[in-house]
Structure 1
Amino acid sequence: MEPRQHTKLINFLLEELAIPATAISLALRHVEQTPSLLPMVLWQYGLVTLTQLNQIFDWLEVTS
Structure 2
Amino acid sequence: MSPSEQNQKLVRFLQQELNIPAESIALVQRHPELPYSSFPMLLWRYGLISITQLDKIFDWLDHSLSRSAKHF
Question: What CA deviation, in whole Å up to 9, does each residue of 1:11-52 have, x standing for no partner?
Answer: 00000000000000001113x022221100000000000000
Give unmatched runs, 5+ long, in structure 2: 66-72
Report the TM-score, using the length of structure 2 for normalisation: 0.83
Report the TM-score, using the length of structure 1 for normalisation: 0.92
Aligned 8 A contact 1:43 1:53 in 2: yes
Moved over 6 A (4+): none
Greater gyration radius: 2
Superposed CA RMSD: 1.1
Secondary structure of the corresponding residue to residue 53 of structure 1: helix
Alignment of 1:1-64 (within 5 A): 2-30=3-31, 32-33=32-33, 34-64=35-65
Distance in 2 (CA, whole Å) between partners of 1:50 and 1:39 is 10
Give unmatched runs, 5+ long, in structure 1: none
Count of residue pairs the alignment pairs up: 63
Aligned-residue identity in percent? 48
Which amino acid in 2 is paired with 1:62? H
